[in-house]
Structure 1
Amino acid sequence: MKNLVRLLMLALLVSACNSTQKEEEKPTIELQMAMDSTVTEKQVNFKAIDSDEALIATALMAAPAESREGCKVIGINMAGEWVTFREGSNEFIVITDDPSKPGFNAACYHQDLEPFMARGRELRAQGKSGGEIFDIREAEVKSGQLEMGNPGSTLHIYYGSKTNYEPETNKVEDAIYRYVVYLPFATSESTGLPEVPISPDHPWIMNPGTHRAHIMISPKPESQDF
């Protein structure tokens, strides 16, 4: 009889301990409120890109971190004018997002690509289509009239569908990167790269055999597991 009583008492004690442990594992109301507040605060931290200063700050995110301070910054300001926001002291030129267009798209490229980029802007301003711009620049590069810099000149693109940014970091909400390495007239055979990506983040060559041949590199978003 005594053994039975001891077993019952032991079972009740184990049950009580398990119940206490489960209660301790549950977040308290105060902790849950704090967690919810943190999530809400993170969402509130994003604000609209609504000033020239914000245009510059977010566009510089396209450049390598160690080079941002010396980049030249150009683009369309909040008033809709094409301007030079600031002169640079290194080899990079940054183009800000166009605030009149949906989504976000900023770019950073090597200064040796400026004649090529500027020619594209000039032809677009004339109302030329994408195909016409390609053909005109193809002919001009082949003839030596248009320079594209040294093979291997780079273009960094920072883009996304949203136009909010986090002022503390200047990161644009959900924006991602893409990198381009220009190798005029390179081919799959001359580089060993495929003409289509083997996987989403695999480098490949686009427009092979033309003036606009370039290596495409699209890293996976930071939020995506490797």
Structure 2
Amino acid sequence: MKKLLFLVFVTAFFACEAQIPNKEYQINTAVKAAPPEKQAEATVLGYNEDGDLLTLREGKNEMICVADDPNKEGFQVVCYHQDLVPFMKRGEELRKEGKKPDEIFKIREEEAKSGALKMPENPSTLHVLYGGEGKINAESGELEDTKLRYVVYIPFATAESTGLPIRPLVPGGPWIMNPGTHRAHIMVSPEN
């Protein structure tokens, strides 16, 4: 009986630990969020066995792609323009410090306004591929059951400066989120 309980405990313990996919899988799935013509030369960040984010592949273009975080529920890979690197890195640093989302927003807002955090001078896009389980169709090579959302960062833009509404007017329609802040961005989401 003790052996059976030990076996159940060990099985449950390892079932809770996140499995880190191999490097090739992380690269192949991460780049799926980028436009097809950008995928082959994008830089790819992914995770090692300790769960640390590191560079899996150096790129030759302006896109940075990030593999799915195996420690988070659901599947999500992202690709973003290199001008968003300071913004993204600062957010990651603050998360590692244990800051909550509202604290991260406030700190980055203050830093962006003071010039300590460099924000993009031009609109910069983040592509988010999410949903499903991250399974690749063997025939098509595409991820199954996923959707693509576009986020175009335009720091400090407003509804008035862009002509965009502050909420989607039609399913999947563009709108501006966080207007007037460092994190102002145009959202374009698929219909649900």
Q: Name which one, 1 or 2, has greater alpha-carbon Rg.
A: 1
Alpha-carbon offset, residue 50 of structure 1: 3.8
2:25 is equivalent to residue 54 of structure 1: yes
Structure 1 unpaired stretches of 5+:
1-47, 222-226
2:99 is equivalent to residue 134 of structure 1: no
Kept in 1, the 8 Å contact 2:29–2:134? The answer is: no
Greater fraction helix: 1
What is the root-mean-square deviation in Å for CA atoms of aligned residues? 1.8
Write the distance in 2 (CA, Å) between the matches of 1:167 and 1:77. Answer: 25
Alpha-carbon offset, residue 59 of structure 1: 0.8
Q: List per-residue Cα deviations over 1:145-199 (Å, max 9, x = no partner).
A: 1111223111100011423222444422211000011111111111111101011
2:180 to 204, 209, 214: 209
Task: Report SS of the residue matched to 1:60.
Answer: helix
Kept in 2, the 8 Å contact 1:183–1:213? The answer is: yes
Write the distance in 1 (CA, Å) between the matches of 2:183 and 2:60. Answer: 27
Q: List per-residue Cα deviations over 1:34-62 (Å, max 9, x = no partner).
A: xxxxxxxxxxxxxx994221111011000
1:120 to 79, 87, 91: 91
Provide the aligned length of Structure 1 versus Structure 2.
174
- What is aligned with 1:45? none
- What is aligned with 1:83? 54
Kept in 2, the 8 Å contact 1:58–1:170? The answer is: no
Task: Report SS of the residue matched to 2:120.
Answer: coil
Write the distance in 1 (CA, Å) between the matches of 2:20 and 2:98. Answer: 28
- What is aligned with 2:158? 187
Task: Report SS of the residue matched to 2:167.
Answer: coil
Return the TM-score normalized by structure 1.
0.72
Kept in 1, the 8 Å contact 2:20–2:47? The answer is: no
Task: Report SS of the residue matched to 1:70.
Answer: coil
**Distance of aligned partners of 1:145 and 1:50 in 2 relative to their CA distance in 1, 3 Å threshold:** closer
Q: Percent identity?
A: 55
Kept in 2, the 8 Å contact 1:155–1:180? The answer is: yes
**Distance of aligned partners of 1:170 and 1:125 in 2 relative to their CA distance in 1, 3 Å threshold:** farther
Range that drifts further, 55-64 or 95-104: 95-104
Task: Report SS of the residue matched to 2:117.
Answer: coil
Structure 2 unpaired stretches of 5+:
1-18
2:114 to 130, 143, 146: 143
Return the TM-score normalized by structure 2.
0.85
Kept in 2, the 8 Å contact 1:49–1:163? The answer is: no
**Distance of aligned partners of 1:119 and 1:101 in 2 relative to their CA distance in 1, 3 Å threshold:** same
Write the distance in 2 (CA, Å) between the matches of 1:66 and 1:192. Answer: 30
Kept in 2, the 8 Å contact 1:104–1:163? The answer is: yes
**Distance of aligned partners of 1:170 and 1:83 in 2 relative to their CA distance in 1, 3 Å threshold:** farther
Write the distance in 2 (CA, Å) between the matches of 1:78 and 1:58. Answer: 18
Write the distance in 1 (CA, Å) between the matches of 2:52 and 2:138. Answer: 24
**Distance of aligned partners of 1:49 and 1:219 in 2 relative to their CA distance in 1, 3 Å threshold:** farther
Flag as ranges the 4+ runs of structure 1 deviating above 4 A. none
